[in-house]
């Protein structure tokens, strides 16, 4: 089988680490470039011992150079901070190298919205319309034709997949949507900082970014597209004393009289052909441990007759489904591979 050469810029974060893990056993993609200024010169196995004695471990870490990338890669994953990808992506695209960006640099379609929420001047606003939002369940056809893919955020992934069927079948109001999300500590990144020290995270539970979390405009942009109307949501994120996983509890108001059994049937029908969205039986609620290290999004449904709210519980792994695995699924689509290639594994329970 012909191998497809891929590169990774930004190996030192948790998303980069997860992508290295997934690429190590991918049957078609070969990691040919791994970039980090701080770790340049080392073999990848020296930095990540889990790829020792595997082909990926023999890659020498280098500093990013667009000429090297063009010579050695068909696609490059950018696992870099917001504000950095917008500098690299145009260079790669000009060399006919496909780009999948993990940051928010190309997720938001309105330049001013990006600049308001990220406090960064967008240097290539012409690429915002060109970029395809990389949620494969919704945009697979566009992803297949894309050269620049904006990999979705982890929180938005859990939320959009949770609400999609409800909007598709018009069973909920677009008003008064409350989203209460909890994430493992890896969602805060790998940079050393006091709030994510072990003693601060362990045996603790706290909210953060209330009313101002940067994923809010991404969530509202994509949900507005699904609902065919501009909407505003209340998004409240929290951090849990665990490594990985997201659980989003989504509170919605029903727009019609409908039973839980009917709602459940609509959700099942919507996701019947999806390899990764699993609608749990009525009476069951999802848990993070059953999706750990996988691409699965597990959905549980509760109908509160007293408040007339449909409560949707959506669970994903923030590092795999919410970042690296999703990027790999998008890469599969870009090169006409089965979307599931290299990604069908059971949970790391």
Report the catalytic residues. Answer: 154
Q: What is the CA radius of gyration of the chain?
A: 20
Could you tell me if 71 and 91 are in contact, meaning their C-beta atoms sit under 8 angstroms apart?
A: no
CA dist 74 → 88, 157, 272, 326 (Å): 15, 26, 33, 18
In whole angstroms, what is the distance from residue 136 CA to residue 117 CA? Answer: 25
CA gap 7, 31 in Å, rounded = 6
Burial of 210 (0-12, 13-18, 19+ CB in 10 A): exposed
Angle between helices 154-168 and 260-270 (to 10 degrees): 110
Q: What is the spatial distance between Cα 336 and Cα 8, in angstroms, rounded to a whole number?
A: 20
Q: How far is CA 323 from the centre of its chain?
A: 4
Number of CB atoms found within 10 A of residue 195's CB:
11
Quick one: which of 10, 187, 3, 185 has its CA closest to 84? 10
């Amino acid at each position: 089988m012909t191998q497809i050469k891929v590169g990774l810029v930004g190996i030192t974060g948790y998303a980069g680490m997860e992508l290295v893990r997934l690429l190590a056993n991918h049957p078609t993609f070969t990691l040919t470039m791994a970039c980090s200024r701080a770790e340049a010169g080392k073999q990848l196995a020296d930095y990540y011992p889990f790829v020792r004695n595997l082909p990926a471990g023999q890659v020498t870490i280098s500093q990013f150079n667009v000429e090297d990338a063009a010579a050695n890669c068909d696609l490059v994953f950018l696992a870099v901070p917001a504000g950095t990808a917008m500098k690299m992506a145009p260079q790669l695209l000009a060399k006919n190298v496909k780009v999948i960006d993990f940051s928010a640099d190309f997720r938001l379609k309105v330049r001013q919205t990006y600049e308001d929420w990220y406090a960064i001047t967008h240097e290539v606003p012409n690429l915002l319309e060109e970029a395809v939002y990389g949620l494969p369940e919704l945009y697979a056809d566009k992803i297949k034709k894309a050269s620049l893919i904006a990999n979705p955020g982890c929180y938005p992934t859990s939320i959009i997949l949770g609400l999609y069927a409800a909007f598709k079948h018009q069973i909920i109001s677009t008003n008064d949507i409350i989203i209460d999300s909890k994430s493992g500590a890896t969602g805060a990144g790998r940079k050393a900082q006091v709030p994510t020290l072990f003693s601060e995270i362990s045996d603790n539970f706290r909210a953060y970014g209330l009313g101002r979390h940067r994923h809010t405009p991404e969530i509202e942009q994509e949900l507005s597209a699904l609902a065919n109307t501009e909407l505003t949501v209340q998004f409240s994120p929290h951090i849990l004393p665990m490594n990985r996983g997201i659980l989003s509890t989504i509170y919605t108001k029903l727009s019609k009289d409908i039973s839980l059994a009917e709602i459940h049937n609509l959700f099942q029908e919507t996701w019947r052909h999806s390899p990764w969205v699993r609608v749990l039986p009525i009476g069951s609620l999802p848990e993070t441990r059953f999706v750990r290290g996988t691409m699965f999004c597990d959905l549980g449904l509760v109908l509160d007759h007293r408040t007339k709210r449909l409560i949707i519980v959506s669970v994903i792994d923030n590092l795999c489904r919410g970042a690296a695995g999703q990027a790999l699924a998008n890469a599969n689509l870009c090169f006409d591979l089965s979307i599931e290639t290299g990604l069908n594994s059971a949970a790391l329970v």
